[in-house]
């Protein structure tokens, strides 16, 4: 599958998960729906990981939170510091 196909399939699975979740709000003891929900969630998670490995993260709060190396941006110069602002680099502020 190419990027567009992976994303389309992921959107389908996410839609199914939301739809089944809404159904389960009013039918919480329906074992068939619970099994289908778990199956869809598992499939969506696997496909999401496959997509993110190939094309990068879909959401900042999924992949980045687990690995502290992704938070190293905090050690870089901030926008108002000379090293990050090309218009100020090498010039004195007036």
pLDDT in tens, 5-25: 999 999 999 999 999 999 999
pLDDT of residue 8: 95
Check whether 87 has a pLDDT greater than 70.
no
pLDDT of residue 53: 86
pTM: 0.63
Distance CA 3, CA 37 (A): 25
Q: What is the DSSP letter of 78?
A: P
pLDDT of residue 39: 97
Q: What are the helix (H) ranges across 1-94?
A: 3-26, 31-55, 60-66
For 29-85, write each residue's pLDDT tens digit.
999 999 999 999 999 999 999 998 888 878 766 555 556 565 565 666 776 777 666
């Amino acid at each position: 599958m190419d990027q567009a196909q992976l994303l389309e399939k992921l959107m389908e699975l996410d839609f199914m998960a939301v739809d089944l979740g809404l159904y389960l709000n009013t039918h919480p003891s329906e074992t068939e729906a619970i099994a289908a929900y778990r199956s869809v969630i598992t499939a969506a998670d696997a496909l999401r990981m496959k997509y993110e490995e190939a094309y990068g993260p879909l959401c900042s709060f999924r992949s980045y939170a687990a690995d502290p190396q992704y938070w190293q941006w905090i050690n870089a110069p901030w926008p108002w510091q000379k090293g990050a602002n090309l218009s100020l680099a090498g010039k004195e502020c007036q």
